[in-house]
Amino acid sequence: MATDVLPDAYPLRAGRRERALAQMDAYGLDVLVLGRQANIRYVTGAPQLWIAGTRPFGPMCVLVRATEDIYLNSTDDEGVPDEIGHDHLYGLAWNPMTLIDVLKKIDGADAARRVGTDAITPTFAALLPEAFPNAEIVDAEPAMRAARRVKTSDEIVAMGTAVRVAERGLAAALCEFAPGVSERTLAGAMMEAMAAGGVSTPATQDAAWVTSKEQPWRRADSGDVRQGDLVAFAAGALANGYVAEVGRTWPAGGSAPELFGRSDLLYDKMLAACRPGAPTSDLVAAYQAAGEPIPPMPIAHGLGLGFDPPVVSQTLLDAGEHDRLEAGMVLAITGYVWQEGVGAVFRRDSVHITEAGADVLTTSPVCATEADESIGPDPWR
């Protein structure tokens, strides 16, 4: 097994960097100062250490538009692309003034007129003008979001690893699925399979849950699968920096053909809404057209190096967060239908929006072993 930490392939990182530079030009940014892991990997192609939770902003990467030079916070060359020379690497420092001194020495720091950051803290808001004395410090996150929202063809290929790992994780959980099994056992099977595929970082919090028969958008309280339950599975994998998600629902014995039929109708309408130029509100309208209540949580969100725009929910639309879909976007779309006394059917797919419409990247995984009659017929085939 290879253990080397390698940078992203040159065509992948070069295509992303070209998009970032184009957005710097569009937003009039002379220099980018980045602190968010996803943005740093997008620009550099260097793998970043994944950390649970948030961390404060620090100037971990700098991109100069005029020269296309990249300066990266790294203690060694491992995983650093060849185009980032050793003299463009700088180490960690507890003292922020040490980092400011590094930025002062960057070619073009004195001449920069607009410097964008993807986040900021009060400390660096006060210190960055010392490094860029003639520049206005502005928010660069809109530029990075504009660059990242549409994927290059190489990015779509790169996402394939995350897709396959997520599918295998879901299939492994299904192999353990039977009345009497606990949600934790199902989650453990999913995590084990994804770890065996080289991914120890799940992209979603929940892995498997018994859907409530009393309330929509809730999980049952038991934690154990009982005969007749509808159990939702959600697998999300973060592989090579990219996220893919897939989700399905299976009945524990018996079936719920009416509810799965409603799910199919909703899903078809959501896919039909995934077309270039369509407003994101069409995804919400798909629920209305199918006669289903609109969930209180997002029903779609962008995928890429983490989560990218757009995020689609009725709450955001009511708040004026309107957007349009573009060819090259990748979305995780979520369908959810519920019936009292029966439970819910949950479905999630990773969908690539192309000029011709929706290209579904994920499939309906099945257990690799012989079918277990105790869990009932496969509702997705």
pLDDT digits (tens, 9 = 90+) for 204-217: 888 999 999 999 99
Asked if 135 and 162 sit in the same domain, the reply is no
Residue 290 lies in a domain: yes
Residue 233 lies in a domain: yes
Which of 149, 180, 205 lies at the terminal end of a domain, its last residue? 149
Asked if 215 and 99 sit in the same domain, the reply is no
Residue 197 lies in a domain: yes
Asked if 200 and 345 sit in the same domain, the reply is yes
Residue 320 lies in a domain: yes
Asked if 157 and 123 sit in the same domain, the reply is no
Residue 21 lies in a domain: yes
Asked if 27 and 143 sit in the same domain, the reply is yes
Give the structural domain span for 26: 10-149
Q: 357-360 and 343-354: which strand pairing? A: antiparallel
Asked if 111 and 176 sit in the same domain, the reply is no
Cβ neighbors of 359 (< 8 A, separation 6 or more) are 351, 352, 353
Asked if 109 and 245 sit in the same domain, the reply is no
Residue 126 lies in a domain: yes
Asked if 127 and 176 sit in the same domain, the reply is no
Cβ neighbors of 239 (< 8 A, separation 6 or more) are 161, 162, 165, 197, 198, 199
Tell me: cis bond preceding 310? Omega within 30 of 0 counts. yes
Residue 365 lies in a domain: no
Residue 370 lies in a domain: no
Which of 103, 124, 149 lies at the terminal end of a domain, its last residue? 149
Query: Tens place of pLDDT for every residue, the chain, 381 residues?
Result: 445 689 999 999 999 999 999 999 999 999 999 999 999 999 999 997 766 566 788 999 999 999 999 999 998 889 999 999 999 999 988 899 999 999 999 999 999 999 999 999 999 999 999 999 999 999 999 999 999 999 999 999 999 999 999 999 999 999 999 999 999 999 999 999 999 988 887 888 889 999 999 999 999 988 899 999 999 999 999 998 999 999 999 999 878 999 999 999 999 999 999 999 999 999 999 999 999 999 999 999 999 998 899 999 999 999 999 999 999 999 999 999 999 999 999 999 999 999 999 999 999 888 755 444 445 556 755
What pLDDT shows up at residue 93? 86
Asked if 168 and 251 sit in the same domain, the reply is yes
Q: 61-64 and 70-73: which strand pairing? A: antiparallel
Q: For residue 65, what is the domain's CATH number? A: 3.40.350.10
Measured distance CA(154)–CA(363) in Å, rounded: 21
Q: For residue 329, what is the domain's CATH number? A: 3.90.230.10
Element (H, E) at 10: helix 10-27
What pLDDT shows up at residue 340? 96
Q: How far is CA 185 from CA 167, 192, 209, 223, in A?
A: 17, 10, 11, 10
What pLDDT shows up at residue 4? 63
Asked if 130 and 167 sit in the same domain, the reply is no
Structure-block tokens of residue 130: 């010392």
Query: Which among 200, 235, 232 is positioned nearest to 217, based on CA atoms?
Result: 232
Asked if 135 and 92 sit in the same domain, the reply is yes
- For the chain, what is the domain count? 2
Which of 149, 181, 209 lies at the terminal end of a domain, its last residue? 149
Q: 136-139 and 357-360: which strand pairing? A: unpaired
Instruction: Please provide residue 138's backbone torsions phi and psi, each rounded to the nearest 5 degrees.
Output: -130, 170
Measured distance CA(358)–CA(92) in Å, rounded: 44
Cβ neighbors of 127 (< 8 A, separation 6 or more) are 96, 97, 100
Asked if 275 and 225 sit in the same domain, the reply is yes
pLDDT tens sequence across 42-86: 999 999 776 656 678 899 999 999 999 999 999 888 999 999 999
Measured distance CA(334)–CA(236) in Å, rounded: 13
